[in-house]
């Protein structure tokens, strides 16, 4: 008998929650393929280590961008392999709840459910990421009070106001922490004349990246390829430079939070001043982001206890209480 | 014997009258109640405890 699953199919990482067991898989959403034969060579962490370091016949790709499937066939193969790793076989077909960005189109929704069904799921239902995040962040969404959650993922940033188990206001932008990495890559190329890979850009972001000045700031040495000479070169980057490089992306995320606040009904808006907003998702870990949002919105911002796992925990709760919560699935009638 | 049968019939009728008079919950109300109850902190505790690392219980209440 298959155990039902909840999947946070993120642009950056895929997490799987198994009913009655908890989180059983947490791996980067990356797949490595043999370009010539089409064979899968690695998935998850192993494939992630290959990004930018592969010979010509191997390609390590992220099949999701901006929370949407960019390559249907590769995504289906990745989901199939991930499900196999958690024990799903041809004879054990579980029900699956998948978290997706709220802004995805009808075509993208169908692509996700079809990919899951073809990968071995008996039934695939979708849930909006901010709703799952609010459940997983343990917010009191069963009460008639305003709960605001900001979920900053790899490819999307979503802000939602939730009350009485439903979404009251929602704002989403297809901008996330991968756009921060891309902005760092572009800045280093433009200002220092060296090319760096996406993994190096991510390391720079984690080492010295910030959305606002912080107390413990240091510089970082970055190695890349000189665009003029083609030789390896080292440059030193400062936190101010990185803040300047990523400013457009950070501003875009904060602007979407402000738009969501403006959409909230006044009765709920006053709750935010007391209860604050909750930040979840890997992008929320950017240093100085919470104080910056707090400064620009004048609303307290709190970090969820488990920001990376909140979404899959929320979806996991839905799979544990499937019948009572099936009205929350996308496409289902709201109660 | 006949009195026992009469008593049973009377009790059954009384139960039927009580059940019929009791206001029935609308299906929408029951469904909404079930939905809200499933989102309560008590209902969520099992999943939270399953996933949360053991040492994070001390931080409970600070953030969430």
User: Both ends of chain A: CA-CA distance in Å?
Assistant: 31
Dist. CA A228–CA B54, nearest whole Å: 53
Strands A301-303 and A277-280: parallel
At residue B22, the pLDDT reads 65
Dist. CA A305–CA A141, nearest whole Å: 17
8 A C-beta contact, residue A224 and residue A195: yes
- Helix, strand, or coil (residue A152): strand
At residue A286, the pLDDT reads 95
For A176, residues 6+ apart whose C-beta sits below 8 A from its C-beta are A11, A66, A152, A153, A154, A155, A156, A157, A281, A283
**Residue-wise pLDDT tens for chain A (335 aa)?**
568 999 998 889 999 999 999 999 999 999 999 999 988 899 889 999 898 888 999 999 888 887 778 888 888 888 888 888 888 877 888 999 999 888 888 888 888 898 888 888 899 999 999 999 999 998 999 999 999 999 999 999 999 999 999 999 999 999 999 999 999 999 999 999 999 998 899 999 999 999 999 988 899 999 999 999 999 999 999 999 999 999 999 999 999 999 999 999 998 988 999 999 999 999 999 999 999 999 999 999 999 989 999 999 999 999 999 999 988 888 764 44
Q: Does A329 touch chain B (CB under 8 A)?
A: no
At residue B23, the pLDDT reads 61
For chain A, residues classed under CATH 3.30.420.40 are 5-131+310-328, 140-175+247-303
The domain defined by A177-245 carries CATH number 3.90.640.10: yes
For chain A, residues classed under CATH 3.90.640.10 are 177-245
8 A C-beta contact, residue A160 and residue A167: yes
Phi, psi of A98 (to 5 degrees): -115, 135
At residue B60, the pLDDT reads 42
Beta-strand (E) ranges in chain A? 5-9, 13-18, 22-28, 31-34, 40-43, 58-61, 64-65, 68-69, 95-100, 123-128, 147-152, 157-163, 166-173, 194-195, 220-226, 232-237, 277-280, 301-303
8 A C-beta contact, residue A130 and residue A159: yes
Q: Which of A302, A304, A327 sits opposite B35 (nearest CB)?
A: A327
Measured CA distances, A94 to A6, A73, A84, A125 (Å): 10, 21, 12, 12
At residue A333, the pLDDT reads 46
At residue A216, the pLDDT reads 85
Dist. CA A130–CA A128, nearest whole Å: 6
Write the class of the CATH domain A5-131+310-328. alpha beta
Give the closest-approach CA distance of A307 to chain B in angstroms. 11
Per the CB < 8 Å rule, is B63 touching A313? no
- Spacing of C-alpha A274 from chain mean position: 27
Q: Search chain A and give the residue with CA nearest B40.
A: A142
Render pLDDT for B31-63 as a digit per residue (tens, 0 to 9).
888 889 999 988 988 888 887 766 554 444 333
* A335: chain B residues, CB-CB within 8 Å: 28, 31-32, 35
8 A C-beta contact, residue A12 and residue A178: yes
* B50: chain A residues, CB-CB within 8 Å: 21-22
Q: Search chain A and give the residue with CA nearest B55.
A: A305
At residue A1, the pLDDT reads 59
Render pLDDT for A52-81 as a digit per residue (tens, 0 to 9).
888 999 999 888 887 778 888 888 888 888
Superfamily of structural domain A140-175+247-303: ATPase, nucleotide binding domain (3.30.420.40)
Per the CB < 8 Å rule, is B51 touching A23? yes
Q: Does A306 touch chain B (CB under 8 A)?
A: yes
Return the CA Rg of chain B.
Answer: 24
8 A C-beta contact, residue A239 and residue A217: yes
Dist. CA A217–CA A210, nearest whole Å: 9
At residue B63, the pLDDT reads 36
């Amino acid at each position: 008998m298959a155990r039902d699953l909840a999947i946070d199919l993120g642009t950056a990482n895929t997490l799987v929650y198994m009913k009655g067991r908890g989180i059983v898989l947490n791996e980067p959403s990356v797949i490595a393929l043999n370009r010539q034969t089409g064979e899968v060579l690695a998935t998850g962490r192993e494939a992630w280590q290959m990004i930018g370091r592969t010979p010509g016949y191997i390609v390590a790709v992220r099949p999701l961008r901006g929370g949407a499937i960019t390559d249907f066939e590769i995504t289906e193969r990745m989901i199939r392999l991930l499900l196999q790793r958690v024990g799903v076989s041809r004879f054990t077909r579980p029900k699956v709840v998948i978290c997706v960005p709220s802004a995805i189109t009808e075509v993208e929704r169908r692509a996700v459910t079809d990919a899951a069904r073809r990968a071995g799921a008996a039934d695939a239902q979708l849930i909006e990421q901010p709703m799952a995040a609010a459940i997983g962040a343990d917010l009191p969404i069963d009460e008639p009070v305003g709960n605001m959650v900001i979920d900053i993922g790899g490819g999307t940033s979503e802000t939602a106001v939730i009350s009485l188990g439903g979404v009251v206001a929602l704002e989403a932008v297809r901008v996330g922490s991968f756009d921060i990495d891309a902005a760092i890559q572009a800045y280093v190329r433009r200002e220092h004349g060296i090319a760096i890979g996406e993994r190096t850009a991510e390391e720079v972001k984690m080492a010295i990246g910030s959305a606002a000045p912080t107390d413990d700031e240091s510089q970082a040495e970055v190695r890349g390829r000189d665009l003029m000479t083609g030789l390896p070169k080292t440059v030193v980057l400062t936190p101010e430079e990185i803040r300047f490089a990523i400013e457009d992306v950070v501003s875009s995320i904060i602007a979407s939070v402000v738009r969501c606040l403006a959409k909230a009904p006044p009765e709920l808006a006053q709750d935010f001043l007391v209860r604050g907003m909750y930040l979840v998702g890997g992008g929320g870990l950017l240093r100085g982001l919470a104080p910056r949002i707090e400064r620009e919105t004048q609303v307290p911002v709190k970090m969820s206890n488990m920001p990376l796992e909140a979404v899959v925990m929320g979806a996991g709760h839905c799979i544990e209480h499937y019948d009572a919560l099936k009205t929350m699935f996308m496409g289902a009638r709201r109660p | 014997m006949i009195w026992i049968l009469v008593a049973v019939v009377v009790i059954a009728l009384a139960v039927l009258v009580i059940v019929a008079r009791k206001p029935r919950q609308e299906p929408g109300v029951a469904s909404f109640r079930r939905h809200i109850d499933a989102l309560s902190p008590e209902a969520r505790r099992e999943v939270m405890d399953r996933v949360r690392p053991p040492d994070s219980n001390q931080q409970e209440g600070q953030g969430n």
